[in-house]
Amino acid sequence: MGLFSQEESFEYGLKLGGIISKSYIEMINWQAEKAEYILNKTGKITVIVLDNYSVHKSKEVKKNLEK
Task: Specify whether the CB–CB gap between 35 and 48 falls below 8 A.
Answer: yes
pLDDT for position 6: 66
- pLDDT in the model for residue 9: 74
**What pLDDT is recorded for position 41?**
93
Q: For 16-49, what is each residue's pLDDT tens digit?
A: 677 888 888 988 898 889 889 989 999 988 888 8
Q: Rounded distance, CA 49 to CA 38, Å?
A: 17
pTM over 0.85: no
pLDDT tops 70 at residue 2? no
Gap between the Cα atoms of 38 and 59, Å rounded: 28
The gap between the terminal CA atoms of the chain, to the nearest Å, is 22
| Number of Cα atoms under 13 Å in the Cβ half of residue 66 | 7
